[in-house]
């Protein structure tokens, strides 16, 4: 069972209601590593109108989306990390979409052409999608704010000052990803591949469209379109549906946050299966600066258990190596050299 939590109080100041929300968030983070959250204020627009506005990008003709392709799919393009990825035929994962970086909101001030993780995002021109870019800016800002407040709740939950993570996320490299999962024509796959990706769900035969994985970073905030398909693995190894309830976000945590908190926050494996209908989702990956150093946290006074000890590492280096396991990035390992941690 995926817990549902009203996080409205975390948008306000200290109060008994916020304390209760913190406890519920931390309990879910420490147990299932997944939750759905409600109670978002009106200036965090997650309803059908905003989703429809953002997903207009998938109505663009191929002639426009090709201009947004990454270099892996069009060698003439300079962008490696941001931009459009088409469906990869013959792969178990079956999706297309676009990865959008913070330059959407902050412009050239956050672009560094020397690092693909900080490259500019190719975006549709205003004439092709009137009003779309401003809607994306509004949504990106709202998810950044929500991500920051969730991180503050986690900080309070592990006994640290609530602003302990703030500095790492200043000028962060968070990604807004818009994904479309079409219905796959199964006759394009050989029988052995069909068997490899087949799953049973509610007595019916379904197929994977997003392979099982654990997110690499910190917090993922996911808006779903009402079509089921997202599943999380529970403690017993069973796959549990994450309900696409209207007015909610699905929240899960990444491997770096699990590591940073000494395992108090769980990074949970999840996957996407086809329900026999097209599906869209809008994940926002709340991430720190590319040069953020992930080092053992200070131990809260009176904390039990041994301190977490590990060698500090660069978030950017970790992220780049982690993304290479996904088909849309595979083969790009050599395109970014590790930066390491300054002495």
pLDDT digits (tens, 9 = 90+) for 299-335: 664 555 556 788 999 999 999 999 999 989 999 999 9
Under a CB-based contact definition with an 8 Å cutoff, are residues 204 and 262 in contact? no
What is the structure's pLDDT at 24?
Answer: 98
Cβ-in-10-Å burial (0-12, 13-18, 19+) of 148 comes to middle
Going through the chain in order, the beta strands assigned E by DSSP cover 4-6, 34-38, 83-85, 96-100, 175-181, 198-201, 204-213, 219-224, 230-233, 239-241, 249-253, 270-273, 279-286, 293-294, 313-314
Q: How far apart, in whole angstroms, are the C-alpha atoms of residue 221 and residue 253? A: 9
Decide: helix, strand or coil at residue 336.
coil
Under a CB-based contact definition with an 8 Å cutoff, are residues 313 and 294 in contact? yes
Decide: helix, strand or coil at residue 62.
helix
Q: Which residues contact 114 (CB under 8 A, 6 or more apart)?
A: none
Domains parsed from the chain with CATH numbers: 4-335 (2.60.120.330)
Under a CB-based contact definition with an 8 Å cutoff, are residues 223 and 46 in contact? yes
Under a CB-based contact definition with an 8 Å cutoff, are residues 147 and 46 in contact? no
DSSP-assigned beta bridge partners for residue 231: 241, 271
| Residue ranges for the chain with pLDDT beneath 50 | 301
Q: How far apart, in whole angstroms, are the C-alpha atoms of residue 35 and residue 26? A: 10
Q: Are strands 4-6 and 34-38 parallel, antiparallel or unpaired?
A: parallel
What is the structure's pLDDT at 304?
Answer: 58
What is the CA 107 to chain-centroid distance, rounded?
A: 21
What is the structure's pLDDT at 262?
Answer: 87
pLDDT digits over 115-141, tens only? 999 999 999 999 999 999 999 999 999
Decide: helix, strand or coil at residue 304.
coil
Cβ-in-10-Å burial (0-12, 13-18, 19+) of 215 comes to buried
Q: Which residues contact 22 (CB under 8 A, 6 or more apart)?
A: 10, 153, 156, 157
Decide: helix, strand or coil at residue 325.
coil
DSSP-assigned beta bridge partners for residue 232: 240, 270
Under a CB-based contact definition with an 8 Å cutoff, are residues 68 and 123 in contact? yes
Q: Which residues contact 169 (CB under 8 A, 6 or more apart)?
A: 147, 148, 151, 286, 287, 288, 289, 292
Cβ-in-10-Å burial (0-12, 13-18, 19+) of 171 comes to middle
DSSP designation for 69: B
Q: How far apart, in whole angstroms, are the C-alpha atoms of residue 52 and residue 38? A: 19
What is the structure's pLDDT at 306?
Answer: 55
What is the structure's pLDDT at 237?
Answer: 94
CA-wise closest residue to 168 among 202, 219, 94: 219
DSSP designation for 342: -
Q: How far apart, in whole angstroms, are the C-alpha atoms of residue 179 and residue 90? A: 18
């Amino acid at each position: 069972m995926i817990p549902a939590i009203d996080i409205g109080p975390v948008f306000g100041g200290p109060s008994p209601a916020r304390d209760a929300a913190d406890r519920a968030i931390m309990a879910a983070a420490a147990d299932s590593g997944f939750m759905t959250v409600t109670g978002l204020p009106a200036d965090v627009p997650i309803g059908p109108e905003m989703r429809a506005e953002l997903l207009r990008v998938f109505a663009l003709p191929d002639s426009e989306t090709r201009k947004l392709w990454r270099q892996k799919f069009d060698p003439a393009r300079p962008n490696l990390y941001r931009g459009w990825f088409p469906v990869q035929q013959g792969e178990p994962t079956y999706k297309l979409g676009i990865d959008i970086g913070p330059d959407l909101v902050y412009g050239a001030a956050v672009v560094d052409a020397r690092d693909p993780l900080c490259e500019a995002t190719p975006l549709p021109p205003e004439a092709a999608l009137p009003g779309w870019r401003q809607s994306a800016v509004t949504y990106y800002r709202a998810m950044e704010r929500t991500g920051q407040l969730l991180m503050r709740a986690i900080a309070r939950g592990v006994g640290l000052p609530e602003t302990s993570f703030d500095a790492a996320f200043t000028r962060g490299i968070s990604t807004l990803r818009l994904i479309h999962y079409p219905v796959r024509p199964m006759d394009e796959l050989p029988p052995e591949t069909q068997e490899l990706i087949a799953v049973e769900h509610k007595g019916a035969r379904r197929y994977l469209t997003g392979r099982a994985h654990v997110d690499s970073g910190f917090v993922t905030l996911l808006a779903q379109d009402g079509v089921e398909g997202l599943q999380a693995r529970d403690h017993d190894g069973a796959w549990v549906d994450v309900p696409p309830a209207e007015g909610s976000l699905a929240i899960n945590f990444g491997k770096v946050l699990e590591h940073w908190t000494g395992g108090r926050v769980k990074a949970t494996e999840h996957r996407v299966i086809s329900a026999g209908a097209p599906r869209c989702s809008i994940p926002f990956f709340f991430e720190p600066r590319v040069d953020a150093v992930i080092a053992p946290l200070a131990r809260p006074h009176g904390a039990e258990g041994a301190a977490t000890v590990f060698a500090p590492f660069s978030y950017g280096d970790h992220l780049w190596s982690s993304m290479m396991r996904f088909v849309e990035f595979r083969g790009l390992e050599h395109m970014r050299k590790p930066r390491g941690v300054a002495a």
